[in-house]
Amino acid sequence: MLKKSLLASALSLLLVGNVFAQDEAAADESTGAWEISADFALTSDYVFRGVSQSQEEAAIQAGLNFEHESGFYTGIWGSSVDFTADSTLPEDEDGADVEVDAFVGYGFDIAEDWGGDVQLVRYFYPGSNPGVDYDYNELIGALSYKELITATIGWSNDVFATREDGLYLGLNGSYELPWWGLSLTGEIGTYDIDKLDGGDDFNYMHYGLGVSRAFGPVTASLNWANTDDDGQDFYGEIADSRVFLTLEMSTGL
């Protein structure tokens, strides 16, 4: 459950960014073959593949990234989460309030304007109650054309520690609009999970649109996301149509 107010979190986010920017300007030194960056975000809803991970409430997010000039990179990213509804009995709470993603990957050029990326992610949910285990690995591959469109495939043999396979296929794009510095984004994807909760194989589709604009070091984006009937039947209200606002800031270290 998020315990900070939206306004206080936004002010904290901007304050931290200002400190980083001052430090960077004061000591403009190269990190050599490595580039180190940090990102911070405040979102009105943490949506992952069309489904809210925060019970449609606000979430605070942050990440630290290390990228080598060879294309190798690694890092860590985290977000507040809430998987159980407010109506859940105390004894049924899972205790998972934080998601931490540790990742390592390699990005490379394939041909002019074409690039590839292979990444291994470990999703952790520290602080979960005894007997609750959501941690799992996912291998993700991506093929991109310029910065316009990216096709993604993700595979796990243990989605949310269920010991079931999960296959994700996604397509997303970004296009700079000719007005007011705006960018348009879109995504569509399908997620196929074997015998989730001991039932039949589960498959759903999600899709979304967004518009974003940079305001100095902060990028604001307004997004819409939805899933098909299968997603809404399984997940309920946290998978229905939603609009959410995200403020994100990235800075070099």
pLDDT of residue 27: 42
Q: Which tops the pLDDT comparison, 201 or 200?
A: 201
pLDDT band at 31 (very low <50, low <70, confident <90, very high): low
Cα-based torsion angle of the residue sequence 128, 131, 137, 138 in order, rounded to the nearest 10 degrees: -80
pLDDT of residue 10: 42
Candidate from 87-91, 181-185, 227-231, 236-240 with smallest mean pLDDT: 87-91
Distance CA 119, CA 109 (A): 15
Q: Is the per-residue pLDDT at 23 higher than 60?
A: no
Q: Write out pLDDT tens, residues 134-165.
A: 999 999 999 999 989 999 999 999 999 988 89
Contact partners, residue 2, CB within 8 Å, separation at least 6? 54, 57, 58, 59, 60, 80, 82
Give me the mean pLDDT over the 28-51 stretch: 88
pLDDT of residue 199: 63
Contacts 24+ apart (CB under 8 A), 216-222: 217/17, 217/21, 217/249, 217/250, 217/251, 218/13, 218/14, 218/17, 218/247, 218/248, 218/249, 219/247, 219/248, 219/249, 219/250, 220/245, 220/246, 220/247, 220/248, 221/185, 221/245, 221/246, 221/248
Longest dimension (CA), the chain: 59
Q: Write out pLDDT tens, residues 57-98.
A: 999 999 999 999 999 999 999 999 999 887 676 767 888 999
Q: Is the per-residue pLDDT at 8 higher than 80?
A: no
pLDDT of residue 26: 43
pLDDT of residue 131: 87
Distance CA 65, CA 75 (A): 4
pLDDT band at 21 (very low <50, low <70, confident <90, very high): very low
Question: Count of H helices and E strands in the chain?
Answer: 2, 14
Dig out the tokens for 150 from the structure.
Answer: 């990216």
Q: Which domains does the chain have, with CATH numbers?
A: 6-27+36-252 (2.40.160.40)
Residues 125, 134: contact at Cβ < 8 Å? yes
Amino acid at 126: P
Distances 110 to 114, 115, 132, 137 between C-alpha atoms, Å = 5, 5, 42, 26
Dig out the tokens for 95 from the structure.
Answer: 């205790």
The pTM is what?
0.85
